[in-house]
Structure 1
Amino acid sequence: MMKNLLLLSMLTGCANMTPAEDIAFGTLIGCNAYDAALTMHAMDRGFAEGNPLLGSHPSDEKIIISKVLLAGIAWWAVDAMDEKRSVPALLIATIPCGWAVYHNNSVMDD
């Protein structure tokens, strides 16, 4: 799983992205990779997924596919925007992921 997400993050250089877009996209990918790993760990410990699109107990494959699809949509969106808009958009898109990671960590620590 992590190999696939790492490969996807390395492919950002294949797009026509600026260095700032590479950093912002890499941040989004990194956050989503951590969220996916944390979600799979939580599932192994008996927790339920809160995202209704994935169901309460998604398979590892479903979690990975959702993250890869999200990355593909972000990549497409960056390609359609200029840097002035794409970098803030990518960083804003990272906020819900960061909140999910924070929330998952706090729930699992209880």
Structure 2
Amino acid sequence: MTKYIDADNLINELSAACMPIYKKGITGILGDNSSIADIINEQPTADVQEARHGKWESTELMYENGCTRCSECKTEYYASDLEEICGDTFPIYCPLCGARMD
């Protein structure tokens, strides 16, 4: 599985770890912290999007018309439409914005 890291934090940690070696006059991949930073920065980046989390909220129309609303995008849905999409239960994701319903 792909791991996503904070590259700037890693560079700072490696720089701190390599500085004592560099001060002793040792160079190369272990001693030259700029070469490590270059290697990290040259790596391809992933298109990562932060996960959105929401919940199904009650609306004024919920009791009259069976409506519910996504807490993230505020889109209202008829419960019957959601049941048609996902079966007997409410979906675990909002059909519009993709927020995961916790």
TM-score (norm 2): 0.30
- Higher radius of gyration, 1 or 2: 2
TM-score (norm 1): 0.28
By percentage of residues, which structure has more strand?
2
By percentage of residues, which structure has more helix?
1
